[in-house]
Chain A
């Protein structure tokens, strides 16, 4: 089941890559898009608040004025406020589902996963509260239903529902409270969003500029073509018999009528509990985390490149244990995902070193540099005509997708584990006609920054750089997700393979 879902998702992503390109692919930036929509809702909300009358008798009329009298500004702002809120529900839900399908919620990722669950409650509370303020028939329906729903809880009792018995029982004080809540809850949501990404180094909270422009344009087009309008003013003397619901925010309300508030509380409580417990529930698929990185003080010169590159803030720098004036890296095993990006960043992780035992300053016990060297030598054993070596990662393409005549594939936990000097060492070998570096799309690296850092290292923009005497044209980087083997094959075919030489 999970494999089918993942395959479906990857195919969809490949389709979006074809249309948007990996840098603009919205599926790679669902969290960042949610942030973007939050800011649209905030800015438009501040504008609307300026013209909004916070009273029972004035609220509906003021919203009507905003919508119709200044349709060119307030009307669009109102529509953007509403539609960006709806868009946020879509991207947030898709974000959650995607991370679940890809298994990105276990181990050190538990914090981001669990801290995201209350955000769903806050998001829906903020959105539902906003509907009350218009005080039209939809607001009346929501107000009565919500007060009865909350009233099921002993904390609230029936006092809240009693506010909506009749038009006379309403008070401006209650309405002021609702306005206050509609400001306070989004502030808590923002705080929660900050906490959600707090433990993620260099978290992406801003989507690609082109995607922002495209999305905002689309929402403006929707606002002009189909502006958000109010229903007739609320009148508690009559029940709202039929209502056009916002199914993005109000999808549980029909359940209140059919199954009752107790059932809905039970359902939502159960879903919440399951979501929170998910990182610790049985393994959905075999994805073992290797042993955490180990620092070898003798080979660590305190350059701090691994500290800068670790996407999970698992590395800190402390005074060196015995080299005066230097520092050394320390790994927090609880935060380490064993991606090996630190190994790829270590300047001592070079196969050119003339040492008896090849040990780098920081490396993975399950996948040390020495093993990578041995694996490479094994892959090249018996080669008579030069081959292309493809270094990939376990999370993107599988070897069988590209391996064949003249191509050898070596897979690492993350491509960020590959030190550029290692690619140089391989490229210089006479059995090798070229080196291809591949892995997850940089915007969607399983270990967040492996592909991006690798790209920068090989482009000379990030330490350690690729310095090669074999000629940089012999080393090529081509990203390809799990269902983008064609692009890698095309890149391999594009290469001018030097197969004329015999390997001595």
Chain B
């Protein structure tokens, strides 16, 4: 092979290497397509962050108890810090799709309990019911909410608990689907 032929072969080889390099980058930078959510599926996002009720009432200290405390520590009442775990349940068309007990956070279990879940469900009309129990001393759920929704494919239904208002909010994007206590 002459020097000229060798030079041409090298240029061709380099062009081929560079072309392969950029085709690999360009090809992998935006493809192939990935199907994240199935056809005809919608999404429910369930989110709650709420402090359960205290697990017990305050009680008066006895004289004996007060006697062993330093003078500056003699608070007349002692109150439990621990909060109730939350019991959260989500039902679609009457069928439970999520039910979990959420423990309070913190070393003394005196923090808020929280969770976030993303669920894929078939799009279309459905009845959504969500229930919350936040007090171990009371039977049954303290908060319930039911709403009829009609979800488009890929649409997101957000279910949040408004701790200040003490109620669930169920909404799809900018369009609220109703409120209930």
**Residues of chain B within 8 A of A235, CB atoms compared:** 173
In order of increasing CB-CB distance, the 5 nearest A-B pairs are A237-B173, A19-B13, A158-B116, A241-B37, A222-B22
CB pairs A–B below 8 angstroms (20 shown): A19-B9, A83-B29, A141-B36, A151-B116, A162-B49, A167-B173, A219-B22, A219-B25, A221-B22, A237-B155, A237-B156, A237-B172, A239-B36, A239-B43, A241-B37, A243-B36, A245-B32, A245-B34, A247-B28, A247-B31
Query: What's the Cα separation between A15 and B22 when bound, in Å?
Result: 19
Q: Does A207 contact B (CB under 8 A)?
A: no
Do B34 and A254 touch (CB < 8 A)? Answer: yes
What residues of chain A have their CB less than 8 Å away from a CB belonging to chain B? 15-16, 18-21, 26, 82-83, 86-87, 90, 141, 144, 148, 151, 157-159, 161-162, 165-168, 214-215, 217-219, 221-222, 225-226, 228, 235-248, 253-254, 257
Query: What's the Cα separation between A326 and B36 when bound, in Å?
Result: 72
Q: Mark B13-24, 1 if CB is under 8 A from A, else 0.
A: 110111101101
Smallest CB-CB separation from B30: which chain A residue?
Answer: A244
Contact-size category for B? 35 or more
**Residues of chain B within 8 A of A247, CB atoms compared:** 28-29, 31-32
User: Contacts A19-B13, A158-B114 given: A243-B33 contact, CB under 8 Å?
Assistant: yes
Query: What's the Cα separation between A257 and B43 when bound, in Å?
Result: 14
The listed residue (A214, A222, A239, A242) touching B25 by CB distance below 8 A is A222
What residues of chain B have their CB less than 8 Å away from a CB belonging to chain A? 9-10, 13-14, 16-19, 21-22, 24-26, 28-39, 41-43, 45, 47, 49, 114-116, 118, 152-156, 158, 160, 171-174
**Residues of chain A within 8 A of B31, CB atoms compared:** 244-245, 247
User: Contacts A90-B25, A239-B43, A248-B25 given: A165-B30 contact, CB under 8 Å?
Assistant: no
Do B37 and A158 touch (CB < 8 A)? Answer: no
Do B47 and A165 touch (CB < 8 A)? Answer: yes
**Residues of chain B within 8 A of A165, CB atoms compared:** 45, 47, 158, 160
Query: What's the Cα separation between A61 and B55 when bound, in Å?
Result: 51
Interface SS majority for chain A: helix
User: Contacts A222-B22, A246-B30 given: A239-B14 contact, CB under 8 Å?
Assistant: no
B168 to chain A, nearest CB (A): 14
Query: What's the Cα separation between A347 and B97 when bound, in Å?
Result: 82
Do B156 and A236 touch (CB < 8 A)? Answer: yes
A211 to chain B, nearest CB (A): 10
The listed residue (B14, B41, B116) touching A161 by CB distance below 8 A is B116
**Residues of chain A within 8 A of B36, CB atoms compared:** 141, 239-243, 257
Do A214 and B14 touch (CB < 8 A)? Answer: yes
B21 to chain A, nearest CB (A): 6
Do A240 and B22 touch (CB < 8 A)? Answer: no
Query: What's the Cα separation between A271 and B53 when bound, in Å?
Result: 44
Query: What's the Cα separation between A214 and B10 when bound, in Å?
Result: 13
Do B25 and A19 touch (CB < 8 A)? Answer: no
Do A82 and B154 touch (CB < 8 A)? Answer: no
Query: What's the Cα separation between A377 and B9 when bound, in Å?
Result: 44
A504 to chain B, nearest CB (A): 42
Do A87 and B17 touch (CB < 8 A)? Answer: no
Find the residue from A141, A237, A245 having the highest chain B CB count within 10 A: A237
Query: What's the Cα separation between A248 and B31 when bound, in Å?
Result: 10
Smallest CB-CB separation from B116: which chain A residue?
Answer: A158
The listed residue (A144, A148, A158, A226) touching B26 by CB distance below 8 A is A226
Find the residue from B29, B33, B34, B152 having the highest chain A CB count within 10 A: B29
The listed residue (A19, A151, A239) touching B156 by CB distance below 8 A is A239
Find the residue from B19, B30, B49 having the highest chain A CB count within 10 A: B30
Do A166 and B25 touch (CB < 8 A)? Answer: no
Query: What's the Cα separation between A226 and B30 when bound, in Å?
Result: 10
Do B33 and A20 touch (CB < 8 A)? Answer: no
The listed residue (B9, B29, B34) touching A86 by CB distance below 8 A is B29
A368 to chain B, nearest CB (A): 43
**Residues of chain A within 8 A of B25, CB atoms compared:** 83, 86-87, 90, 219, 222, 248
User: Contacts A148-B118, A165-B45, A241-B153 given: A218-B13 contact, CB under 8 Å?
Assistant: no
Do B33 and A244 touch (CB < 8 A)? Answer: yes
Query: What's the Cα separation between A221 and B21 when bound, in Å?
Result: 12
Query: What's the Cα separation between A245 and B32 when bound, in Å?
Result: 7
**Residues of chain B within 8 A of A166, CB atoms compared:** 156, 158, 171, 173
Do B30 and A238 touch (CB < 8 A)? Answer: no
B64 to chain A, nearest CB (A): 41
**Residues of chain A within 8 A of B118, CB atoms compared:** 144, 148, 161
**Residues of chain A within 8 A of B171, CB atoms compared:** 166
Query: What's the Cα separation between A17 and B169 when bound, in Å?
Result: 66
User: Contacts A87-B25, A148-B118, A237-B172 given: A242-B14 contact, CB under 8 Å?
Assistant: no
**Residues of chain B within 8 A of A246, CB atoms compared:** 28-30
Do A241 and B17 touch (CB < 8 A)? Answer: no
Do B18 and A215 touch (CB < 8 A)? Answer: yes
Do A248 and B28 touch (CB < 8 A)? Answer: yes
Inter-chain pairs besides A245-B34, A254-B34, 4 sampled, C-beta below 8 Å: A219-B22, A219-B25, A222-B22, A243-B34
**Residues of chain B within 8 A of A87, CB atoms compared:** 21, 25
Query: What's the Cα separation between A222 and B115 when bound, in Å?
Result: 45
**Residues of chain A within 8 A of B49, CB atoms compared:** 158-159, 162
Find the residue from A225, A235, A238, A248 having the highest chain B CB count within 10 A: A238
**Residues of chain B within 8 A of A253, CB atoms compared:** 34
**Residues of chain B within 8 A of A257, CB atoms compared:** 36
